Amino acid sequence: MAVLPIITIPDPVLRKISDPVERVDDAVVKLMDDMLETMYAAPGVGLAAPQVGVLKRVAVIDAAEDGQPPNPIAMANPEIVALGSTTRLHEEGCLSIPDVRVEIERPAAVTVRYIDRAGKEQELAAEGLLATVIQHEIDHLDGQLIIDFLSRLKRDIIIRKFKKQARS
């Protein structure tokens, strides 16, 4: 396993839509393992393949609460099949936009269908933080970022700051 470099804005890869995984083979499992190691090292609670420069529909998540044992979830081709009727406001951060936090209102519960690391289709009903993280990571696979929930002015200020940092 390896810790991979995490891509940050304004890298255009973060805005591209990821391709579906044809099948979960050794290369995809290795990607999942490397992504988990990268996510834990960052540290974060979720990571999508585009964040490490791979345009595949792969995401890893571990939303275990402090003091709980790790509960890693690796997903290929995650797809939300149901959204809860209530919403949850949560301040989200993103490993690709360091030191920026955005308060986002999302459905408080989701059901997601995906292929696990063994190549088996799974369905998971999630709520709270796990539901938020699933939606956040699927946004990445669709080329969307947390700053897209901000006004154009705030978004542009953040992007300019990161472009300036990238130049220096």
CB-CB neighbours of 15 under 10 Å: 14
Checking if the pLDDT of 95 tops 90, the result is: yes
Mean of pLDDT values over 10-38: 97
Task: State residue 141's pLDDT score.
Answer: 98
Distance CA 61, CA 10 (A): 23
pLDDT value of residue 167: 85
What is the amino acid identity at position 43? P
Q: Residue 93 has what pLDDT?
A: 97
Specify the pLDDT at position 61: 98
Q: How far is Cα of residue 16 from the mean position of the Cα atoms in its chain?
A: 14
User: Tokens in use for 30?
Assistant: 């290795």
How many alpha carbons fall within 13 Å on the CB side of residue 99? 4
What CA–CA distance (Å, rounded) separates 134 from 31? 18
Domain 12-167, CATH number (from 3.40.50.10310, 3.40.605.10, 3.10.20.30, 3.90.45.10) = 3.90.45.10
pLDDT confidence tier of residue 1, bands split at 50, 70 and 90 = confident
The percentage of residues in the chain with a pLDDT greater than 70, rounded to a whole number, is: 100
What residues does each domain of the chain span?
12-167
User: Which pLDDT score is estimated for 36?
Assistant: 98
- Predicted confidence at residue 63, as pLDDT, reads 96
Q: Could you report the per-residue pLDDT of 102-119, keeping only the tens digit for each?
A: 999 999 999 999 999 999
Which residues are designated catalytic?
137
